Structure 1
Amino acid sequence: MTDQSLSPESGETPTHAGFVAIVGKPNVGKSTLLNAFLNTKVAPTSPRPQTTRRGVRGIYSTDTQQIVFVDTPGLHKPKDALGKYMNQEVQSALADVDAILWVVDLRHPPTEEDELVARQVRDLPKPLFLIGNKTDAAKYPDEAMQLYRALLEGRTSETHERMLSAQNSPQAVAALREQVLDTLPENPFFFPRGSASDQTREQWAAEIIREEAMKKLREELPYAIATRVTNWTEREDGLQRIEAELIVEKNAHKGMVIGAGGKMLREIGQAARKQLEVFLNRKIFLGLEVIVIPGWREDEEALRELGYE
C-alpha cells in the first residue's frame, strides 16, 4: 500500500478525504471503535491498557469519500523510552489530522489521564468529536458525559458529541462514521479504494500475536513483550507458513512465555493461529520463538529495530 494521493479523473464528482485521529487514555476502546468503523480487524484489542503501541491507520472509503483513521496509543505518563515513543505518536497524529475523535469511558468519571488528553485537544482548531463509549456497561452515562464535557470548557472550534458502545452498537457507530465523513475537506484519495490499512501483512500478523500474548499472560509481563514476523511463505497447496518472534527483556520472562513444557507458548500460538485463519481465510502454520533482548523498552536502537521509530 502507498501514501501517494490518487487524483480523480477529469470530470468526476469531487472527492473528499482526510485523516482522523482516534485519541484517549489507555483502555477506553479506541481500537475496538476503529475495527467497528471498518467492519474488520486492523488494530489489536485486549482488556489490558496500552495494547496499541504505534499509530495504526484504518481506511474507510465510499465512492467519493475516504477517511484515514489513525488509531493512537493511549496517552499516559511514560515510564520508559517505549512510553515516550507512544506519546509522541499521539502528538504527531494530532498535528497532522483534519478531525479528532476523543474516546472516553463512561463507566468512570474523568481521571488525570483524561485531563491530559483534554489539554491536548481542547484548543486545536479542527473538528472534535467527544465519544462517550461503553454505554452498555455504564451506570450513569449522562452524568459521566457531563464531567467529560466540562473538560472542554472554553473550546471555540467545532465540537460534536456521541454516546455509544463501540462493541455492541453497530448502528450508532455507522451514524458516527457518516457524521465524520461530512467534515472531510475536498481532497483526492490518499489510498486506493479497497485498502483497509497501511500496515504490511507482517506488521498486522505480529500485532495479532502480541494481542494473544497479552491476553494469556498476567501482571507486568505483557508490557515487556514485542513481536515481529521474520518469515512468511505460501506453499502451492495454499498453506501460509508464518514464523515469528516474541521478544522479552529477561531470561525469567522467556520461561514464563514458554511455560511448563511449552504449554503457554502453544496456547498463544493456537489462539493467534485461529485469528489469522479467520481473517485470511487460509490454513496457517504458525511457528513461534521466544528471544531475549535485555532492556529493549529503554534501548532506542532496539526500539527502532522493532519498528518503534
Structure 2
Amino acid sequence: MDADRDKPFKSGFAALIGRPNVGKSTLLNALVGQKVAIMSNRPQTTRNRIRGVLTTNDMQIVFIDTPGIHKPHHRLGEYMVEAAEATFREVDVILFVCDATEPGHPGDDHVLEKIHGVQTPVFLIINKVDAVPKPDLLKMIADYSQKGPFAEIIPVSAKEHIQLDVLTSALAKLLPEGPKFYPEDMVTDHPEQFIIAENIREKVLHLTREEVPHSVAVVVEQLERRENSNVLYVHAVIYTERESQKGILIGKRGAMLKKVGQLARKELEALFGNKVYLELWVKVKKDWRNEPALLRRFGLDER
C-alpha cells in the first residue's frame, strides 16, 4: 500500500480522431463510464469537440471526441474538420479510431494523410472487433501497421467493452506526471445547456430521415430551476434550413415534435435527477450551415 501511495499521479489529454461513423462517441462514453456524447449510426453526428473525463486512483485522462474528418461541403463541415485537426497539437496522445468491419476504407487513408508527420504519439484503435473473425482482424493489424509509425495498436470493442482496460493501461504508461484538471466526480466539462441541446438533437437524428438530421441545430433559449421546485424548465428551439424540413420535424398534428420531446425529457430526467418541463419550437434559418454568424450563435464555431 505504501508503494501505491508513493506512485506519481499522471494526467493528460487524448484526442479521438477518425473518419465519420467509426464509433468514437461510443468509445468515449464507454471509457468514462457514462453517456457524455450523443450516438447515432449517421455519419458526422459529432459537431463540437466533446470532452469526457476518466479519473482513477493514479491518473486522470481527458478524452476529446472530435468531429469525423471528411471532405466538407459547407462552412459547418469546414469548421468540424478544423476543430478535429486543431487537437493534434493540443494533446498528449492521438487515438486514431478505425472500424474493423471496414478494413482499408479510403476515409482512413485520408485521416492518415492529415496526421502524417505530427510529433504527438498516435495509437491505432481498431474498434468493433467483436464483429469480425480473428484472421480478418490480424490481417487488418498487419496492413495498418505498414501505414504509419503507431506507438500502440490496440483492438477494442467500445460496444462490448473489450480491451478498454488495455487501452487505459497503455495511456497510463505514456501520460506525464501532472495534477487533476477536474474534480473526481466530473465526467464532462460541458454546461447543462449544451448537454440538453445535444440530447434533443440526438432524438431528431434517430427519428428523422434523409436531409433533415444534418440540417438541424438546437439552441436552449431558457433553462431555469425555480425556487422550491423540483422541476427543470427548458425552452429550446430546433432550427432547420427549409420550411419542408420544419414540416417534417413538427409532423402531422405535432406528432413528430411530441415524440422528440418525450424521448428527450425521459433521458434528461434520468440524467439530472429532476422532473423536466421541456418546451420545443421549430424555426427556419435558411442555409445556416454556411453562415459564420449563425454557427457562432448556435455554438458550433468555438474559435
| Same fold? TM cut 0.5 | yes
Q: Secondary structure at the match of 1:70?
A: strand
For this pair of structures, how many residues does the alignment match?
296
Query: Quick one: distance in 2 between partners of 1:290 and 1:142?
Result: 50
2:198 aligned to 189, 192, 207, which one? Answer: 207
Residue in 1 that maps onto 2:290: 298
Does the Cα contact within 8 Å between 2:89 and 2:120 map onto a contact in 1?
no
Residue in 2 that maps onto 1:8: none
Unpaired stretches in structure 1, ≥5 consecutive residues:
1-10
Q: Secondary structure at the match of 2:163?
A: helix
Q: How far off its partner does 1:181 sit?
A: 2.1
2:221 aligned to 211, 230, 244, which one? Answer: 230
What's the % identity of the aligned pairs?
37
Does the Cα contact within 8 Å between 1:107 and 1:141 map onto a contact in 2?
no
Cα 1:220/1:154, change in 2 over 3 Å: closer
Residue in 2 that maps onto 1:35: 29
* 1:26-46 Cα shifts (integer Å, max 9, x gaps): 111000000001111111101
The answer to whether the aligner puts 1:163 opposite 2:155 as a matched pair is yes
- Calculate the aligned-residue CA RMSD, in Å: 1.9
Does the Cα contact within 8 Å between 2:141 and 2:153 map onto a contact in 1?
no
Q: How far off its partner does 1:249 sit?
A: 0.6
* 1:45-88 Cα shifts (integer Å, max 9, x gaps): 01111110011111111233111100001110100000000000
Residue in 1 that maps onto 2:175: 184
Does the Cα contact within 8 Å between 1:296 and 1:302 map onto a contact in 2?
yes
Does the Cα contact within 8 Å between 2:36 and 2:52 map onto a contact in 1?
yes
The answer to whether the aligner puts 1:217 opposite 2:211 as a matched pair is no
Cα 1:272/1:151, change in 2 over 3 Å: same
Q: How far off its partner does 1:188 sit?
A: 2.2
Residue range with higher mean Cα deviation, 297-306 or 116-125? 116-125
2:89 aligned to 87, 91, 95, which one? Answer: 95
Which TM-score applies when normalising by structure 2? 0.92
Query: Quick one: distance in 2 between partners of 1:149 and 1:183?
Result: 23
Superposition map of 1:1-309 within 5 A: 14-138=8-132, 140=133, 142-143=135-136, 146-147=139-140, 150-151=143-144, 153=146, 155-156=148-149, 159-169=151-161, 172-235=163-226, 236-309=228-301
Query: Quick one: distance in 2 between partners of 1:24 and 1:154?
Result: 15
Q: Secondary structure at the match of 1:182?
A: helix
Whichever residue aligns with residue 136 of structure 2, its letter is: E
Q: How far off its partner does 1:164 sit?
A: 2.1
Whichever residue aligns with residue 29 of structure 2, its letter is: N
Query: Quick one: distance in 2 between partners of 1:218 and 1:111?
Result: 25
Query: Quick one: distance in 1 between partners of 2:221 and 2:96?
Result: 35
Whichever residue aligns with residue 298 of structure 1, its letter is: N
Does the Cα contact within 8 Å between 2:129 and 2:137 map onto a contact in 1?
no
Does the Cα contact within 8 Å between 1:123 and 1:155 map onto a contact in 2?
no
Residue in 2 that maps onto 1:4: none
Which TM-score applies when normalising by structure 1? 0.90
Q: Secondary structure at the match of 2:102?
A: coil
Cα 1:141/1:265, change in 2 over 3 Å: farther
